[in-house]
Structure 1
């Protein structure tokens, strides 16, 4: 749960760092500009708040790994919900309004997570999961989206190293295979989720089950 707070705080700090011009740059999410991704983060923060106040009187059906489902193809921004996010982001008109809303809702989500009992079960996406596992799953969400946010911004603040390492471990568990040890944690996350094409040398390092990568999370 500590890593949830670190990854989420780092992501929101990086959004605050962005210039107005940065919001019009491509993000690491196919079909989305940075402004669209920031709008998605606002929706994510709302989802966290909703989930944390949705107790479930049942045994968990998901954990931090099985929370994630995989798709056969990479999202391209054309799904109706993805397209809706683009329209919502455009409605803000000014980057400062996106920043303000993310800071407002995002801070509330962060406080709610710190106050939450990790053992309590909550309902989300039609499943039951402990609050602790739910928040741990979001470390991967925040870290991947932090990398998406700075895809075209090499000088922007990066995700915390401990969050990158934890996210890599989680992704390896989801994929059911270890990723090449010589890859950095950031490269492992980007390549394994299809956000970056591997070089010839990187592709040659993929053997066994890892050769089936990338996987697309949803």
Structure 2
């Protein structure tokens, strides 16, 4: 729960501190500008709020690891993916996007802090505990923080402890560990296809290299 709060607060702070011109730069999400990614974060925050007030009475069907499915790389044909850039452009000014994310994002953060970790909630036809749901989102926030600053070398990176936790989560999803020589950031970027490994990194990955990238859905 604490790591979720730290990762979400760090991501929202990174957006708030970005100069307006940065919103027109590419993000680490292929085909999306930074403004598109920020719009996606607004929708993610809404999803957190909706899920936390959608109780479930049945036993959990997934946990923080099995919540994620490995899917094929996006083709751009998903209607929601196509909608995001149009929504982002409709805001017009970066300050409006910043305001909306701060408004909805702060509410999502407060709701997470107040929630009972053992309570069961439902989302996407699955049931899981609040603790597992928020742990799953820690991986989402950390990856999107890296996406946000992909072309902003001076921007603050995600907190070290959330990078480490996100790496551990990705290794559980992969069913294998990344080489100890990989930094947490590089493990996340290479593991999810956000960066192409060098020849030396591919050699260090061994058989794991054949299973990459891990596209989460």
Q: TM-score, normalised by structure 1?
A: 0.98
Aligned residues: 217
Specify the alignment match of 1:84 in structure 2: 83
- Separation of aligned partners in 2, 1:202 and 1:144: 20
Alignment of 1:132 with 2:135, yes or no, is no
Q: In structure 2, how many angstroms separate the alpha carbons of the residues matched to 1:76 and 1:203?
A: 25
Q: How does 1:176-187 map to 2 (within 5 A)?
A: 176-187=175-186
For the Cα contact (< 8 Å) 1:39–1:89, is it kept in 2? yes
Residues in 1 aligned to 2:209 and 2:114: alpha-carbon distance in whole angstroms:
38
1:49 and 1:123 map into 2 onto residues whose CA distance is 12
**2:121 is paired with a residue of what secondary structure?**
strand
Does the 8 A contact of 1:31 with 1:76 survive in 2? no
TM-score, normalised to structure 2, is 0.98
1:159 equivalent in structure 2 = 158
Cross-structure match for 1:36: 36
Residue matched to 1:55 = 55
Task: Please state how far the C-alpha of 1:143 moved relative to its aligned partner.
Answer: 0.1
Residues 104-124 of structure 1 show CA distances to partners (whole Å, capped at 9, x for unaligned) of 000000000000000000000
Secondary structure at the aligned position of 1:206 is classed as helix
Q: Does the 8 Å CA contact 2:202/2:209 hold for their aligned counterparts?
A: no
The residue that corresponds to 1:8 in the other structure is 8
Q: 1:11 to 1:102 in 2, by over 3 A?
A: same
Task: Tell me the equivalent position of 1:212.
Answer: 211
Identify the residue that residue 171 of structure 2 maps to in structure 1. Answer: 172
Q: Which runs of 5+ in 1 are unaligned?
A: none
1:46 aligns to 2:46 (yes or no) = yes
Cα RMSD, aligned residues only: 0.9
**Distance in 2 of aligned mates of 1:35 and 1:81:** 15
Q: CA contact under 8 A between 2:54 and 2:122: conserved in structure 1? A: yes
Compared with structure 1, are the counterparts of its residues 19 and 152 closer, same or farther at alpha carbon in structure 2 (3 Å cutoff)? Answer: same
Secondary structure of the structure 1 residue equivalent to 2:68? coil
User: How far apart in 1 are the matches of 2:174 and 2:8?
Assistant: 24
Runs of at least 5 residues in structure 2 that lack an aligned partner in the other structure: none
1:4 is displaced (CA, Å) by: 0.3
Deviation at 1:78, TM superposition (A): 4.2
Aligned to 1:146: 145
Matched, 1:64 2:59: no
d(CA) in 2 for partners of 1:190, 1:122: 30
Pair 43,141 (structure 1): closer, same or farther in 2 beyond 3 Å: same
CA distance in 1, matches of 2:155, 2:35: 15
Alpha-carbon offset, residue 40 of structure 1: 0.2
1:200 corresponds to which residue?
199
**Deviation of the 1:77 alpha carbon:** 4.2
Runs of 4+ aligned structure 1 residues displaced above 4 Å come to none
